[in-house]
Amino acid sequence: MNDVATLSGCSKPADNAAGPAPVLRERGQREVFCGLTGIVWLHRKMQDAFFLVVGSRTCAHLLQSAAGVMIFAEPRFATAIMEERDLAGMVDCQDELDRIVGQLLERRPDIKSLFLVGSCPSEVIKLDLAKAAQRLGAQYMPRVRILSYSGSGIETTFTQGEDACLASLVPEMPAAPADADKQLLIVGSLPDIVEDQFLRIFAQLGIDNIGVLPARNARDLPAVGPNTRYLLAQPFLADTALALEDRGAQRIDALFPFGAEGTTGWLHAAAQEFGIDEMHFNRTVAPGRERAKRAIEHARGALAGKRITFLPDSQLEIPLARFLATELDMVPVEVGTPYLHRAHLAQELDIIPPSARISEGQHVDRQLDRVRADRPDLTVCGLGLANPLEAEGLSTKWAIELVFSPIHGFDQAGDLAELFARPLRRRDMLEV
Amino acid sequence: MQLSVWTYEGPPHVGAMRIATAMEGLHYVLHAPQGDTYADLLFTMIERRNKRPPVTYTTFEARDLGKDTAQLFQDAAREAAERYKPQAMIVGASCTAELIQDDPGGLIEAMNLPCPAIPLELPSYQRKENWGAAETFYQVVRHLADKSVERPAREGRPARANILGPAALGFRHRDDLVEIRKILDMLGIEVNLVAPLGASPADIATIGAADFNIVLYPEIADEAARWLERTFDQPTIRTIPIGVGATRAFITEVAELAGADPTPALGDTHSRMPWWSRSIDSTYLTGKRVFVFGDATHAVAAARIARDELGFEVCGLGCYNREFARDIRAAAKEYGVEPLITDDHLAVEQAIVDASPELVLGTQMERHIAKRLGLACAVISAPVHVQDFPARHSPQMGFEGANVIFDSWVHPLVMGLEEHLLTMFRDDFEFSDDAGASHHAAHSPRKTVAAGDTQANVAMPAPAQAANDGRDHSCEGTVIEAGLWTDEAERELKKIPFFVRGKARRNTENFAADQGREQIDLDTLYDAKAHYAR
C-alpha cells in the first residue's frame, strides 16, 4: 500500500538539491486545537492579565477540557457565553460586553490587563472587539489596559493564538528612540525558569540591553524601535514578527533553541549580531552545551535509529524533528505542521534530513492512513488520536506536553529527549 | 451574555457525540470549524476509549466563509460515507456553523447517500449537552425504529425489555448496566436492546419488539421513551434503582410489569448496605449534614439515600440541568431545603459555604470546591473526570451500587472514635487542624486554605454588609465579624474540631440573633449548644 504515491504534491522528486524540499499540502479535517487554547499557558505567564473569551459554550468547554485537568484555583480566564438573545438582536452585544467586563473587573480588582479574545462565533457575527476594547479602555485606563485579539478556530490554529495575543501587545510597546542603544528582544512565552537561564547567559555574554515579550507583567512591556534586534524563541510567531518589523525591529535569523546545537545556534546568532567575541562566546556557552550533550546522551539508546512521525499540532514539529534527527539520530518519517513559515524556519529546513516528508495542513483520515502504512516507532499527536493509535499498536507521544513543559535551552535538552524516550521505554518495560 | 469560568455541561453537539460514540455503525458529520475537534479527547482521554469518536468535522476556515461552506459540508459527508460505510449518519451544526445557516439537514437530503441520514437541530445558544444527547437519541430512535415490528403474544415466552439511556461519558453507565442485566436475569426477563450504548442502527430498528422500556438515565432517554410509549404502546419503568429502597421498588415494578416473581432478585444476598448502615459503628453517621448537587436524577437519588439509608441530614440540594428542575424542587420541599437550580459554580460554592455541610455529594466541580473548603466529598454525578472511570467494577445502581455508595460516601468522613478523640483532646498538637483525618489522605480536610480565604473575600466584598442583609457566612474561611464574639468565646470555639466548628459558629450566631443577644460569650455558646442538642 502506498498512499503517499497517490497523493498530489508528494510524489514530486526534489530535482534540484538546492531548491526547497517538496511539501505535501493537504486540506480536510484538522485534528488540532484552536487559538483559544493558548490562553491556558498565557494566563499563567502574564500574571496581571485576564483573558475574557467572547464566544459560545463550546469555547468555555474547550478551555476547561484542553487543560486536561481543571486548574481549580480560579483561573485568570473566563468566557462571556453568547446566548440566543444576544444573537437575535434583543440586546446589544456591545452593551452586554460592557456589563460583563464591569462585573468581572469588580470581582477581580487585581486585573491590570484585560484581553478580549474573539472566537469563531464572535468573528462570524462580526462583533467588533477592537472597538469594544477601545471604548472600555477609555473607561478603565489607567487602572486596566484593555486589548483584543482573535483566537478563533476559523483564523488560528493552537499556538497561533499566542501569536495573535503577542501581536496585539506590540503596538502598546513604548517606542525606543532612533538613537537608542542596540537592544535584544526575546520573543515568545517561555517558562519563567527557562527565561531566567537565557537572561543569565546573555548577561554573561555581555548583552545587557535586553527585553522579553511577553513580560511577566503585561504592563511592563519592553521598548521597541529601529535599534531593536529580535530573536524568536518560538517558531509560531509570524504575525508578531510582522508587527515588530512595522515598529522598525529586525529579526535575527537563527535555529530554534532546542537541544545542545539548536540552543548554541540560537545564542550564537544573537552573539554575532551584537559583536560578541567568538572566543568569549565559546567559553561562555561551552559548559551549558556540554551539560546538554551529556543529558541527551541518556536517551540515545532508546531513540537512535527509531523512526518518528509528527502530526500537525503546535508548529514546533520541524525544529523538534531537526533536534531528534541531528542530535539523537532519529529518523523523521513525516513531519506535519499546521503552517510552514519558510523564512522563520529556513535554517531548520536546511539541516532536517531530506528524506523527511514535510506536510502542511491536514486531512486527518489520509494522514492516519499514511501513519498506518509507515508504521513509525513513535507518532507525536494530539490527545484525541493518541489512545486510538496506541490501541492499534503504534506508540505515541502527546504533542501537547511539548507545549506545556520547559523544553528550550541547554538545561532542558535532556528533559526534551526524555519526553520522546519515555513512551518507548514504557512500552518495553510493561509486561501486561 | 453569561460570564462563565467552569461549566457543568458542554454544548448540545457534545451531547450528540455522546450518543454517536456510544453506538456502533453510526457516524456523525458535524459542520464545525477547526478546534471543535477538541471534543474527541473527552472520549479518548477521560473515558480512555480505544477508538476515535465516529465524527467527521467539516473544518471550515475564515477564508471559506465568503465561498461555499455548503460544498465543504457535502464533500465531508460523502467522504465519510465512503470511508466509514456507516449504517446511518446523523448530521448537524456546531455553534459557529449554526450562525452561517448552511442547513446540513437540507443539504444531506439532496445528496442521495447510501445510508439514512438523520438531521439534528441542536440550538447551541439555548440548549446544553444533556438536552443535545436526549434530542439526538430521540431523533435516532424516531428515524430508525421499524414501526411495522409486531410483538408476539406474551403467553409462553419471557418478557422483553429495552434498557435505555447508557451512553458514552456517562457517570458509571458501564457498570450500572451490568447490575441491571443481573436483575433482569434473575427475573427471567430478556433484554431486547440496550441503547444507545453498543446499539447499531439495525438494532434500533427492533426497538418496538420489547414489551416495555427501562429508562436508567432520564436526562438522556426520557424523550425517546415518551415517543416509544405513544408509538409502540410500551410502558416505561421510571424508577431509578440507585439505593437499596429504590432498587427494591425497581425490582417490584419490573417484576409486576413482566409478570415475574420478584423474590429471588429482592433476596440478593450481596446486598450489604442495610447491615453496614445498621451496624453500630455507623451510629456516628447520624445527622451528618450533607450537601447534594449534581444532575437532577443522581442528586434526587443521593438525597434519598443520604436521609433514608444512611441517616444523614440533607442541608442542601440542587441540580445544574434546568430541564429537570421540577424533580429537584419536589425533593427539596420534602427535605425542607431551598432547591438550588443553577449552572454557576460560584453560586454552588456560596451555597455550600452557607450550608456548612460535613459531607459534599456532588460532581467533580463540587469536589474541587469541597477540597478548597476542607470538606469531605464524594462524587455522585457527571460531568465526568478520568477518575470516574475506575478500572474496577464500581456501579451506582442495584444492590451492589448501594454497597459501592456506602463505601465511597462514608470513607471520606472522619470516623466515629477518631471524632471523639479529636473532641476530647483538642489541644494535642498531633490533632491540630492541619492533621485532619488520619485514614484518607486524598480527602483529609485541611485547615482553610489561604486561597479559599481570598476567594471568599473577593466573592463577598463587604462582610459586614453581608451580615446585615441576613446572609449567613459563618463557615470556615469567612471573615469573623469584629466584636460579635468575645475573645473567650472565640477561644472556646477553636477547641471544637474543625469539621463541626463551622456548624457550631453558625448555630451559635443564629441562636444569638434569635435571642437578641448582641454579644456571644461563653454562656451564649453553651446555651446555643443546649438549644441545638440532638
CATH number of the domain where residue B507 is located: 1.10.8.550
Closest chain A residue to B14 measured between Cα atoms?
A58
Q: Is residue B6 part of a domain?
A: no
Q: Is residue B449 part of a domain?
A: no
Q: What is the mean pLDDT of residues A289-311?
A: 97
Across the beta sheet with B289-294, what order do the strands follow? B339-341, B313-319, B289-294, B359-362, B376-379
Interface test with A, best of B3, B78, B100 (most A CBs within 10 A): B3
Element (DSSP H or E) covering residue B493:
helix B487-494
Residue B23 clears pLDDT 50, i.e. is over it: yes
Active-site residue identified among B75, B281, B434, B514: B281
Residue A23 clears pLDDT 60, i.e. is over it: yes
Give the distance from residue A302's alpha carbon to the nearest chain B alpha carbon, in angstroms: 26
The DSSP annotation for A101-137 comes to: HHHHHHH-TT--EEEEEE-HHHHHTT--HHHHHHHHH
| Band (B532; pLDDT cuts 50, 70, 90) | confident
C-alpha cell of residue A334: 513525516
Q: Is residue B435 part of a domain?
A: no
Higher pLDDT, A87 or A239: A239
| Predicted local confidence at residue B528, as pLDDT | 86
Q: Which residues pair with residue B293 across a beta bridge?
A: B318
Residue B291 dihedral angles phi and psi, to the nearest 5°: -110, 125
Total domains present in chain B = 4
Q: What is the mean pLDDT of residues A135-144?
A: 94
Whether residue B122 is found in the same domain as residue B193: no
Q: What is the mean pLDDT of residues A197-201?
A: 96
Q: What is the mean pLDDT of residues B431-450?
A: 44
Q: Is residue B503 part of a domain?
A: yes
| Predicted local confidence at residue B423, as pLDDT | 58
C-alpha cell of residue A64: 476547561
Residue A72 clears pLDDT 80, i.e. is over it: no
Q: Is residue B349 part of a domain?
A: yes
Whether residue B345 is found in the same domain as residue B400: yes
| Band (A3; pLDDT cuts 50, 70, 90) | very low
Do A56 and B458 make contact, defined as CB atoms within 8 angstroms?
no
Which residue in B2, B14, B35 is closest to A33 by CB distance? B35
Residue A15 clears pLDDT 80, i.e. is over it: no
Q: Which residues pair with residue B61 across a beta bridge?
A: none
Whether residue B408 is found in the same domain as residue B288: yes
Q: For chain A, give the mean pLDDT.
A: 92
Whether residue B397 is found in the same domain as residue B464: no
Residue B447 clears pLDDT 50, i.e. is over it: no
Please state the pTM of the whole predicted model. 0.89
Q: Is residue B150 part of a domain?
A: no
Residue pair A45/A380 in contact by the 8 Å Cβ criterion: no
Residue B433 clears pLDDT 60, i.e. is over it: no
Give the distance from residue A30's alpha carbon to the nearest chain B alpha carbon, in angstroms: 6
Residues in Cβ contact with A263 at an 8 Å cutoff, skipping those fewer than 6 apart? A257, A288, A289, A292, A408, A409, A410, A413
The CA distance from A415 to A406, in Å, is: 8
| Predicted local confidence at residue B458, as pLDDT | 32
Q: Which of B266, B281, B301 is the last residue of a domain?
A: B266
Closest chain B residue to A126 measured between Cα atoms?
B99
Residue B420 clears pLDDT 80, i.e. is over it: no
Whether residue B259 is found in the same domain as residue B278: no
C-alpha cell of residue B469: 442583609
The counts of H helices and E strands in chain A are 17, 14
Q: For chain B, give the mean pLDDT.
A: 88
- CATH number, domain of B326, equals 3.40.50.1980
Whether residue B289 is found in the same domain as residue B323: yes
Q: Is residue B99 part of a domain?
A: yes
State the Cα angle at B256 between B254 and B262, rounded to 5°: 75
Whether residue B46 is found in the same domain as residue B21: yes
Task: Return the closest-CA partner of residue A403 out of A373, A425, A418, A382.
Answer: A382
| Predicted local confidence at residue A8, as pLDDT | 43
Whether residue B254 is found in the same domain as residue B280: no
Whether residue B125 is found in the same domain as residue B235: no
Which residue in A72, A84, A103 is closest to B126 by CB distance? A84
- Domains and their CATH numbers in chain A: 4-30+296-429 (3.40.50.1980), 35-156 (3.40.50.1980), 183-281 (3.40.50.1980)
The counts of H helices and E strands in chain B are 24, 14
| Band (B303; pLDDT cuts 50, 70, 90) | very high
Residues in Cβ contact with A220 at an 8 Å cutoff, skipping those fewer than 6 apart? none
**B94 shares contact with chain A (CB less than 8 Å):** yes
The CA distance from A193 to B137, in Å, is: 50
Q: What is the mean pLDDT of residues B427-438?
A: 51
**B5 shares contact with chain A (CB less than 8 Å):** yes
Residues B352, B353, B358, B359: is their CA dihedral positive or negative? positive
Q: Are strands A307-310 and A250-251 parallel, antiparallel or unpaired?
A: unpaired
| Predicted local confidence at residue B55, as pLDDT | 98
| Band (B534; pLDDT cuts 50, 70, 90) | low
Q: Which residues pair with residue B161 across a beta bridge?
A: B191, B212
Q: Which of B266, B289, B317 is the last residue of a domain?
A: B266
pLDDT digits (tens, 9 = 90+) for B347-363: 999 999 999 899 999 99
| Predicted local confidence at residue B305, as pLDDT | 98
Percentage, residues of chain B above pLDDT 90: 70
Whether residue B187 is found in the same domain as residue B96: no
Whether residue B258 is found in the same domain as residue B282: no
Percentage, residues of chain B above pLDDT 70: 86
| Band (B462; pLDDT cuts 50, 70, 90) | very low
- Its ipTM equals 0.92
> Residue A213, SS3?
strand
Q: Which of B112, B129, B146 is the last residue of a domain?
A: B129
Whether residue B215 is found in the same domain as residue B326: no
The CA distance from A62 to A68, in Å, is: 10
Neighbours of A54 (CB within 10 A): 28
Q: What is the mean pLDDT of residues A181-198?
A: 96
Quick check: is B281 catalytic? yes
Residue B140 clears pLDDT 80, i.e. is over it: yes
Percentage, residues of chain A above pLDDT 70: 94
The CA distance from A348 to A363, in Å, is: 24
| Band (A22; pLDDT cuts 50, 70, 90) | confident
Closest chain A residue to B5 measured between Cα atoms?
A78
**B387 shares contact with chain A (CB less than 8 Å):** no
| Predicted local confidence at residue B47, as pLDDT | 94
Closest chain B residue to A65 measured between Cα atoms?
B42
Q: Is residue B313 part of a domain?
A: yes
List the domain range (segments joined by +) for residue B495. 457-531
